[in-house]
Structure formats: C-alpha cells, structure tokens
Amino acid sequence: MIHLEKRPQPSRFWAGFTPILAVIATMIAGGIMFWMLGKDPLEAIRTIFWDPLFHETFGPYSRPQLLVKAAPLILIAIGLSLGFRAGIWNIGAEGQYIMGAICGAGVGLAFYPSDSILIFPAMVLAGAIGGWAWAMIPGLLKVKFGTNEILVSLMLVYVAENLLASVSQGLLQNPEGMGFPGSRNFRDFPAAYNTEIIGGTGMHWGVAAAFIAVIFAYVLLTRHMLGFQVRLTGQAPRAARFAGVNPTRLILFCLGTSGALAGLAGLFEVSGPAGQVTIDFNSGYGFTAIIVAFLGRLHPIGILLAGLLMALTYIGGELAQLMLGLPGAAIQMFQGMLMFFLLAMDVLSHYRIRFNKNATA
Amino acid sequence: MRAVKTLLAGVALAAGLAGAAQAQDKTKVGFIFVGPVGDGGWTYEHNQGRLAVEEEFGDSVETIYQESVPEGADAERAITQMALAGADLIFTTSFGYMDATVAVAEKFPDIKFEHATGYKTAPNVSVYSARFYEGRAVQGHIAGKMTKSNIIGYIASFPIPEVIRGINSAYIHAKKVNPDVQFKIIWAYTWFDPAKEADAAKALIEQGADVILQHTDSTAPQAAAQEAGNIITFGQASDMSDYAPMPRVSSIIDNWAPYYIARTKAVMDGTWESVSTWDGIGSGMVGIGEITDAVPADVKAEAEALRDSLASGEYHAFTGPLNKQDGSAWLAEGETADDGTLAGMNFYVEGIEGEIPSN
C-alpha cells in the first residue's frame, strides 16, 4: 500500500531534482510515442536533445540558434517570475512583447535611413517603455480600482495584436512594399539592426540583455530589500503587510518590470531575428515564457536553464521533423509531456511517499 | 609519418567525395508548411503536391518537410536547417516566408528556392502563385444566385492583395447576377485556426448571411454552416467534399502537383531558372470542385460556362467598367486589369461596404 504524506516543508532536494526526473520521464514516455509512430525512439531522442548541440552539420548552426531562441523566453520569464513570486499574475507578456516591438521599431523606422549610432539605443529605450506602459494599464487599474490583473493583462494581448495588424499595414508599412503588409526589413537598415555582437555566435544584444537580466534578478532576490519584499509577499502576504511592504508600490514594480523586459524582448526580436514588423510577428513567446518561468522554479538560474532546454526541444523538434519525418504534432505532444511530468513530479517535493505494509483502510 | 598522414587525409577526402556524390544521386526536395499537413485546406494541398513529386520520381527523389512553421523569426531557421539537411530545392509555401526565403537563398547560392505568393525573386529564388480570383468569380456567381437574404458572409484572413483580390472578384460576380447583394467581411487574422474560423462563421450567420465564403484553411466554417442549416459554403484550397452536397456546394482547389513536378524535373535536368509563375484555371493550377445538386441546374450551367470562359482566357475576372470603392474610375468599359495592379491590389471595388483594415 502506497500513500502520500504531506511534508511540513517542501523538500529542497526534490525541488531541485524533479526537473531532471521530469526530463527523464519525458524521454521514456516520448520514446514510447515515437516508437508507436514507427520511428526509432533512441534516434528520435538523440535527434531532439543531442543533434542541435553536437551534430556535425547542424551543430555549428543550431548552437548559436539556441541562444537566439532562448533569449526572448528568458528575458520575459525573468520579469514574470518576480511578479509570480509575489502573487502578481501578469499573463499578458505577449501583449507587452508586441508593444515593445511596435514602439521600438517605430522609433527606428522614423529615422530611416539615418546612420546615427544613437538610433539603436533609442529603440531599446522605446521598446522598454512600450512594454512598461502596456503593463502599467493592468497595474494602475489594479491599484486604483482593484481589477483583476490576470484578465486585464490577458485581454490587452488581443488589443495589442490588433494594433500590430494595424501598424503593419498602416503607420509602419514599408512604402516600397507594393501594398503588402509589413514594415521595412531592419536587415537593410544597419544603424537600427540588432546585429550579432560577435559574428557567428548568435550573441545579439537581446541575448546579452537576457544574461544581464538573470544576474540582476539573482542579486535583487538574494541581496536586495525589494527582492525580500517580493518573496515575503508571495509566501506570507499578511506578514508582509505587517512588515510594512507597500502593496501598491510592489504591484507597479512587478508589473512594470515584467512589462519592460517583455518589451525589450520584443524590440530585440523585431530588429534582429524577425527583421520586420509583420501582422503575425508575435509567435507566442509571451505565453511560452510563463511555462519557462515555472519550469525554472521562478529562480533566475533555473529560468536560464529552462529557457535553454525549451529552445533545445524546439530546435531539436524541428530537426526531428526534417531528418526523421516526425509529425509536428508529435513534437508538440513531446513538449506537452515535459510540462505534464514536471507538474506531476511536484508531488514529490510536497509529499513524502510512504510504503505501508499493514495498512488499514 | 607525414606521408602516412597525407595518405590518410587523401583517403578521407576521397571517401567524403564519394559520399557526397552518392547523396547527390537523389534529388532532395524540401517543403516548409505554414499549417499542419492535415489542415484539410492550404497545407494539405501543398502536401499532396509533395506526395505527387515522390510518386512521379520514385527512388530518384527524396522529400522532406516541416509543418506549422510560424511566419516570423522561426521561418529563417527552419529554412536554413532544411538547406543544411542537403535539400537541392526548397518550396516555402506561405507569403510570410518571403524575406526569410530571400535571406537564406543568399547564403546558399547553389540551392534553388521557390516562394509561394510573394514577389521577391533572386537568381536562385522563383515565385509562384495561382489566380485564385478566377475561382472566386465562379463562387461569387453561384453565391449571388443562391442567396435569399442577399447577405453573403466572407471570412477573410489577412488584408494582403491576394485576399482583397478574392473579395473583389467574388463581389463583382455576385453583384452582376444580384444587384441587391451585400458583403459582410470578417478579418480573422489567421490562415488556420478552427476555433476562430468557426466563431467568425457563426457571427456572420447571426448577421443574416446565408452564404459563407472563406479565405481560411480549415473546415470549421463548413461544420458551423452545417450545424446552422440552410447555409451554403465553398471548399477553400482543398475540395472539402466531406461537406458536400450541403453546405459545401463547390470549391476552389489548389493543384500544385504539376508545378512541383515540373520544377523538380528542372532541377534534376539542370535547367532550373528563376521565374515568376501566376497560373489560373486554364493551366489547372486552380480547379473548381464539383458543383453539387444543391445548386439548380441552370445556375450550375452558368457557373460552368463562366469557369470555361475564364480558362480559355476569353473572359477576364476583372473586366471594366469598374470603379474603386471611393467612386473613382478604375477600368473603362471592356478594359481588363493588368497583373501589376492585381498583384498589389489594396482597394475594394465600388459597392463593398467597410474598409480594408487600416488602409
């Protein structure tokens, strides 16, 4: 007879170990699925986890791409994790990501074809402000009127999507685009292009920003009063109030920071890897980042690793489609399994498993 | 010692070359798809084209594909990986892949690229598309004849010239046979999203539409129409004959197979050149699916006559007199639209209500 006994305190060992266990369980369950699809499970797993890093043809290209794919996820997830720790749920990072891209790209395109070195920094600033301002809407509504930030931030994603559609065929449309929607491509606008800092490494400015964000978040949470307040509010809201935490300030700080980081991610993406503002420029990073934040246990280092792992399954999944002819849906299932097992394994950190021989029901 | 090393290097080089030569015996053709191959519409038909290539050339060809590739930053990576995987010819089958295709093509000058529905070409990039608006003319004719409420619903995807052409063509030909006809257009901002498409169809039906035209790829609007009853629809991109004879009374079928086979052959023969292809009903790239018995015999006969005159080139779907929405003259009596205007079409013709989003 097996039964679960609630731990008085979540186990530290299991909290760290369950993500690894979840990856192993995903490999096994995913392997069975690939086998049922008529593919060699070992080869499929190797293609997803190994080939993007070490394949002789793909590796040199995919390794930098891992950073490119992971950077926006990490940048957004770091911001979200601050709020999530304090019980402030910004679900609309996708919208803030879009607004950052629109504002940042707008500033850049306004100065086309200037070659001033100030353009790119101005775009970065505008991107952060765009995302910040968009997140301030649910923030101010919450502190002034007590609205639910989950609903407001989520609804604003759809507003942002429509604004994106509007500017890509209006305000920011490429005047030389023959009536097709979409802005100029930043590739043809060197002063505003988010180029690789070191050629061939994938290290564009957004990747650098993601690493910096990880370090700042780590310092904030472990060494700074504000970080302590964030953690305290999440763990014991009443105690936090007695300790003099100002909830209004905290809500605006958490939403504002996550908005600004999401906006930055959008700007770096639109001016670099994506290259242009288009109707469907956003591809769900803002939502995937929520998963990354939880996969990384809301811890900066965890998020860094989770973002890279997520990117690996994306790129590995693409290679598996190409090389083995696995259907795209199977790859999504595989990623879903990873989330499922991670959440399921949580039971181990919160409960102790007891094997009881003479159980009485 | 050095001699041994050189020898080994030589052997390795020879082995490598032999391997490369062997790999080149098979022509590798890659496809980048915007939706899943099972979408029952746009991507499904492109995948049918891929399977036709396999069938035509058997062992001398290998095809690879990647489905549901987003039209953003991910597209360039997907295309690059396909190039690295050794593809000789790559078809990128959605408008949003245009800049990514051109960018990758620059890095791989020896690989041939074919981009669907775009306009940017390069020495190793061709573009191809189909004159779907010819099929829309036939749909418009049937729709105008069949509607009782005189309200025709249109689920549009993105406001790009291809979609706007379709709306205009359908409207012109519906109006021709039914002067009271009115179009209600919903922009779904997606090519494939069954839930969104079903919502759009339901909203249009609630507004009184009894004919639904769609420029999105799933069969969800067909299912919604079937559920509502007494609504007619048209298959989009694919025949969608599962919904025949009602609600689906006809369809526009994209038939890419002959083009894909011809282009693959050209790569094999070394005769591939960068071209811009825009074919219609005449060449078979656009097919009109069987018109079911839900349509009265005389309407069916008229629609087929219209189809045949479009195929032979004796009639052009955009023939004057036509005015733009704002009332300004566009085409004079008997004048037909030139391809340049059609390719960049960003205006409605006179009589359509509403605005193209943010134009």
**Measured between CB atoms, which of B71, B78, B356 is closest to A278?**
B71
Map tokens 């919208």 to a residue. Answer: A95
**What is the rounded average pLDDT of the residues A130-155?**
95
Whether A327 contacts A321, CB under 8 Å: yes
| Residue B355 touches partner A, C-beta closer than 8 Å | no
Over residues B198-227, the pLDDT tens digits come to 999 999 999 999 999 999 989 999 999 999
Tell me, what amino acid is at B18? A
**What is the rounded average pLDDT of the residues A259-272?**
96
Structure tokens at B200: 């759009």
| Residue B339 touches partner A, C-beta closer than 8 Å | no
**What is the rounded average pLDDT of the residues B137-157?**
96
A271: nearest CA partner in chain B: B73
**Measured between CB atoms, which of A61, A187, A274 is closest to B73?**
A274
Whether A49 contacts A282, CB under 8 Å: no
Distance, C-alpha A189 to centroid of its chain: 27
- Residues in Cβ contact with A244 at an 8 Å cutoff, skipping those fewer than 6 apart: none
What's the predicted TM-score (pTM) here? 0.83
Whether B188 contacts B216, CB under 8 Å: yes
> A3: exposed, middle or buried (C-beta count within 10 Å: 0-12, 13-18, 19+)?
exposed
Whether B79 contacts B67, CB under 8 Å: no
**What is the rounded average pLDDT of the residues A129-158?**
96
Structure tokens at A320: 């598996």
Which residues of A are less than 8 Å from B359 in CB distance? 169-170
In DSSP terms, which residues pair with B63 in a beta bridge? B29
Q: Which residue would you say has higher pLDDT here, B96 or B204?
A: B204
Whether A87 contacts A98, CB under 8 Å: no
A266: nearest CA partner in chain B: B73
- Place B3 in a pLDDT band, splitting at 50, 70 and 90: very low
Q: Does residue A114 sit in helix, strand or coil?
A: coil
Whether A149 contacts B314, CB under 8 Å: no
Which residues of B are less than 8 Å from A317 in CB distance? none
- Evaluate if residue A176 carries a pLDDT over 60: yes
- Place A357 in a pLDDT band, splitting at 50, 70 and 90: low
Structure tokens at A35: 């086998």
Phi then psi for residue A294, to 5 deg, are -75, -35
- Evaluate if residue B20 carries a pLDDT over 60: no
- Evaluate if residue A59 carries a pLDDT over 80: yes
Q: How far apart are CA B298 and CA B148, in angstroms?
A: 17
State whether B81 and A61 contact (CB < 8 Å).
yes
Distances (CA, A) of A127 to A41, A130, A159, B275: 43, 5, 17, 40
Q: How far apart are CA B53 and CA B32, in angstroms?
A: 15
State whether B82 and A322 contact (CB < 8 Å).
yes
| Residue A188 touches partner B, C-beta closer than 8 Å | no
Helix (H) or strand (E) holding B129: strand B125-130
Structure tokens at A117: 């070195």
**What is the rounded average pLDDT of the residues B79-88?**
94
- Place B4 in a pLDDT band, splitting at 50, 70 and 90: very low
Given this model, what pLDDT does residue B132 score? 93
Map tokens 């074809």 to a residue. Answer: A113
A269: nearest CA partner in chain B: B73
- Evaluate if residue A159 carries a pLDDT over 80: yes
| Residue B78 touches partner A, C-beta closer than 8 Å | yes
Whether a cis peptide bond, with omega within 30° of 0, leads into B321 is yes
- Evaluate if residue A346 carries a pLDDT over 90: no
Per-residue b/e over A11-21, b at no fewer than 16 CB within 10 Å?
Answer: eeebbeebbee
Evaluated on CA atoms A20, A318, B236, B166, the torsion sign reads positive
Q: How far apart are CA A191 and CA A112, in angstroms?
A: 9
Map tokens 């995948």 to a residue. Answer: B47
**Measured between CB atoms, which of A178, A325, A327 is closest to B344?**
A178
| Residue B357 touches partner A, C-beta closer than 8 Å | yes
| Residue B158 touches partner A, C-beta closer than 8 Å | yes
Show the CA angle centred on residue A45, arms to residues A39 and A47, nearest 5°: 90
| Residue A59 touches partner B, C-beta closer than 8 Å | no
Q: Pairing relation of β-strands B151-156 and B112-116?
A: unpaired
Q: Pairing relation of β-strands A2-6 and A351-355?
A: antiparallel
Given this model, what pLDDT does residue B2 score? 45
Q: Pairing relation of β-strands B27-32 and A351-355?
A: unpaired
Q: Pairing relation of β-strands B329-331 and B322-323?
A: antiparallel
Q: Does residue B113 sit in helix, strand or coil?
A: strand
Evaluated on CA atoms A202, A307, A188, B80, the torsion sign reads positive
Given this model, what pLDDT does residue B1 score? 41
| Residue A57 touches partner B, C-beta closer than 8 Å | yes
The whole-chain average pLDDT of chain A stands at 89
Q: Poorest-confidence range of A15-19, A43-47, B169-173, B341-345?
A: A15-19
Which residues of B are less than 8 Å from A274 in CB distance? 72-73
| Residue B295 touches partner A, C-beta closer than 8 Å | no
Size of interface A-B (CB pairs under 8 A): 110
Q: Classify domain A62-325 by CATH number.
A: 1.10.3470
**What is the rounded average pLDDT of the residues B108-115?**
96
Whether B255 contacts B284, CB under 8 Å: yes
State whether A280 and B70 contact (CB < 8 Å).
yes
Structure tokens at A343: 């959440």
| Residue B344 touches partner A, C-beta closer than 8 Å | yes
B83: nearest CA partner in chain A: A58
Q: How far apart are CA A168 and CA B187, in angstroms?
A: 15
In DSSP terms, which residues pair with B183 in a beta bridge? B152
- Evaluate if residue A191 carries a pLDDT over 60: yes
State whether A180 and B65 contact (CB < 8 Å).
no
DSSP state string for B180-239: T-EEEEEE---SS-HHHHHHHHHHHHHTT-SEEEE-SSSSHHHHHHHHH-S-EEEE-SS-
A322 CA to chain B: closest CA distance, Å?
A: 6
**What is the rounded average pLDDT of the residues B295-303?**
95
A332: nearest CA partner in chain B: B68
State whether A280 and B71 contact (CB < 8 Å).
yes
Chain A, window 89-128: residues with a beta carbon less than 8 angstroms from a chain B beta carbon: none
Q: How far apart are CA B127 and CA B235, in angstroms?
A: 25
**What is the rounded average pLDDT of the residues A18-22?**
84
A151 CA to chain B: closest CA distance, Å?
A: 20
Q: How far apart are CA A211 and CA A34, in angstroms?
A: 35
Q: Poorest-confidence range of A173-182, B187-196, B297-306?
A: A173-182
**Measured between CB atoms, which of A161, A178, A276 is closest to B343?**
A178
Given this model, what pLDDT does residue B186 score? 95
B116 CA to chain A: closest CA distance, Å?
A: 14
Show the CA angle centred on residue B118, arms to residues B116 and B119, nearest 5°: 135
Q: How far apart are CA B45 and CA B256, in angstroms?
A: 7
- Place B16 in a pLDDT band, splitting at 50, 70 and 90: very low
Phi then psi for residue B232, to 5 deg, are -110, 150
Given this model, what pLDDT does residue B358 score? 63
- Evaluate if residue B343 carries a pLDDT over 50: yes
Q: How far apart are CA A77 and CA A305, in angstroms?
A: 12
- Evaluate if residue B274 carries a pLDDT over 90: yes
| Residue B81 touches partner A, C-beta closer than 8 Å | yes
**Measured between CB atoms, which of B37, B78, B359 is closest to A169?**
B359
B323 CA to chain A: closest CA distance, Å?
A: 19
- Place B12 in a pLDDT band, splitting at 50, 70 and 90: very low
Nearest CA-CA partner of B51 in B230, B294, B264: B264
**What is the rounded average pLDDT of the residues A168-196?**
85
Return the HEC string of A304-337. Answer: HHHHHHHHHHHHHHHHHHHHHCCCHHHHHHHHHH
Q: Pairing relation of β-strands B89-92 and B276-279?
A: unpaired
- Place A19 in a pLDDT band, splitting at 50, 70 and 90: confident
Chain A interface, mutation test: which of B216, B358, B359, most A Cβ atoms within 10 Å? B358
Which residues of B are less than 8 Å from A68 in CB distance? 73, 77
Distances (CA, A) of A269 to A95, A124, A259, B39: 14, 11, 15, 29
**What is the rounded average pLDDT of the residues B266-292?**
93
